[in-house]
Structure 1
Amino acid sequence: MEHDGQLELYTAVADQLKEAHARVRASQVPEGVRMALTRKLLVITAAAKHDLADAARRLESFMKDLDEGRIPEEDH
């Protein structure tokens, strides 16, 4: 049973990561900001390989920040 829950979480995180990457690609922000957002997503993706639950929490926070317009500063 626990395996089914893990599989559902994996599927949910994968779907959310796909959506997040699409949103970042489509966002109307300077290229440096887009790169910073992409790096954050790559960190979350890497975290999912080791701690899926933590990655899900990080991704939820990332998406909330996007929804509320909180984006990182542009890299120089």
Structure 2
Amino acid sequence: MEHDGQLELYAAVADQLKEAHARVRALQVPEGVRMALTRKLLVITAAAKHDLADAARRLDRFTADLDEGRLPDEER
């Protein structure tokens, strides 16, 4: 039964990551900001391979930041 819950969490995180990537692509922001956001998503994706629950928490924070308009500064 625990295995089913883990599979559901994997599926939910995968769907949320896909949606987050689409949202980042659609943003009208400088390329440096888009790159910083994409890097954050790649870190979350890598974390999901080792600690799925932590990756889900990180992804929730990332999404909340996007929702609130909290974006990283453009890197130079």
* TM-score of the superposed pair, with normalisation by structure 2: 0.99
Amino acid at match of 1:12: A
Question: Quick one: distance in 1 between partners of 2:37 and 2:74?
Answer: 10
Alignment correspondent of 1:42: 42
Q: Per-residue displacement from partner, 1:44-64 (whole Å, max 9, x unpaired)?
A: 000000000000000000000
Q: Aligned-pair RMSD on alpha carbons?
A: 0.2
Question: Quick one: distance in 1 between partners of 2:70 and 2:60?
Answer: 13
Amino acid at match of 1:16: Q
Q: Per-residue displacement from partner, 1:27-56 (whole Å, max 9, x unpaired)?
A: 000000000000000000000000000000
Q: Secondary structure at the match of 2:71?
A: coil
Q: Which runs of 4+ in 1 moved over 2 A?
A: none
Alignment correspondent of 2:16: 16
Q: Percent identity?
A: 87
Q: Secondary structure at the match of 2:73?
A: coil
* Counterpart mapping for 1:17-32 below 5 A: 17-32=17-32
Question: Quick one: distance in 2 between partners of 1:49 and 1:12?
Answer: 14
- 1:9 positional shift: 0.2
Q: Secondary structure at the match of 1:29?
A: coil
